Chain A
């Protein structure tokens, strides 16, 4: 069961309208290493994890990713809200505008729709799941670093840096869970 709190995990603001930057950031909304992929990946894997603490960690991080997904949507929204259609005309974003106007829609930066093919879950192999999760956090961190390379919007960058740091923390926690699982395989429970 989930409940919704009417707030962002961290407040988001932007220096000004910037549809090009919105398009780059969109990949963290509906792209392969984006926040939606992260949330669905962890919340899918948790059912078959072997211990209470791995179920807890995937539940808690998966839930936080949904909050990050909302922050990303807010960034895209604020970068494009109220923009004159003329502003879209000279860029790829115009193709998205043609299909659905200014909707914030889960695609990658190039317009490819989100797909479950971005994630994996192995019900018999918690080690494989956690290694996938570690890789996912690394790739998401790398993506935020790419976005920070591309963005000159200082207000927005505060949000991007926060989200980047969360990837680092999640990577740390997944690493600890992986170590713990691997130690336990020498004891009563055998994972492979």
Chain B
């Protein structure tokens, strides 16, 4: 089954978020490593772009996203209902 655009976009957000998190943990114990600090900033910028694209297409990703009116934070699917396939 081909993956939906939505699913692929979430995978990309997951990848870059995980990379950033891994560097967050690394920096917790290596606070003076400038190269990793820069690398993390690059990941975070990329993450921001991907999230903006996702929210534009599919609605809010976090509680603090503005979302649409009427309130679309309540829209399904929730994360535990997400499947790889689909039309969007």
Contact = CB atoms under 8 A, between A and B. Distances in A.
Interface of A: 1, 3, 46-47, 51-53, 55-56, 59-60, 63
Interface stretch (B1-9, B36-44, B70-78): B70-78
B63 A55 contact: no
Contact of B79 (A1, A51, A52, A60): A1
Given A3-B62, A52-B78, A56-B74, 5 more contacts: A1-B79, A46-B78, A51-B74, A55-B76, A63-B63
A1 B62 CA distance: 9
Nearest to A56: B74
Contacts of B74: 51-53, 55-56
Nearest to B14: A1
Contacts of A52: 74-76, 78
B61 to A, nearest CB: 9
Chain B binding surface SS class: loop
Nearest to A63: B63
Nearest to A59: B78
A60 B78 contact: no
Nearest to A47: B80
Contacts of A1: 17, 79
B73 A56 contact: yes
6 contacts: A1-B17, A46-B78, A52-B75, A55-B74, A56-B73, A56-B74
Contacts of B78: 46, 52, 55, 59
A3 B63 CA distance: 11
Nearest to A49: B78
B80 A60 contact: no
A171 B73 CA distance: 21
A53 B80 CA distance: 15
A1 B79 CA distance: 9
Max count, chain B CB within 10 A of own CB: residue among A46, A51, A52, A59: A52
A6 to B, nearest CB: 12
